[in-house]
Amino acid sequence: MTKYKAFFGDGEKTFAFPTRDLIEELERKTSIGIGGLFERFRVSTYSLADILEILRIGLIGGGTSPADASQLVAVYGVGRPLTEVFAIADGVISALFFGTGEAADDTAEIAQGEIRQVAA
């Protein structure tokens, strides 16, 4: 399972899609297949809902409870600069397709400073 780690909300969080069921839930919630959703991020036609669902379902796959994932996304996914949440969602979906390149536990990390640089 490819895990993606990033600072989100109140600390470092793990995002993952370890089961087919979670990928299918993402497809259902975004009304598009996983390949089409990935393409939306490549050509900048994604929606805010796409970003938030990747974060919410990715958090659940990473071990966060569904209630906590929904709360985190509601509090920290909306009202922040879109570049911050986009950078995380793009990292999550890219890791799903390509992995992270990490040999040990297949995780990647984005430091808060890097997110702020993207936002600037």
pLDDT single digits (tens) 13-51 = 999 999 999 999 999 999 999 999 999 999 999 999 999
Of the candidates 29, 45, 15, 43, the residue with the CA atom closest to the CA atom of residue 107: 15
How far is 30 from 45, CA to CA, in rounded Å?
Answer: 13
- Neighbouring C-beta atoms of residue 32, cutoff 10 Å: 15
User: What tokens does 116 get?
Assistant: 């702020």
Pairing of strands 109-110, 3-8: parallel
**How many domains, the chain?**
1
- Total-model pTM: 0.82
Q: Give helix 82-98 / helix 48-61 axis angle, nearest 10°.
A: 60
pLDDT number for residue 103: 52
Task: Give the domain extent around 56.
Answer: 3-119
In tens, the pLDDT along 82-113 reads: 999 999 999 999 999 998 876 544 434 444 44
Cross-strand partners of 109: 5
pLDDT number for residue 79: 85
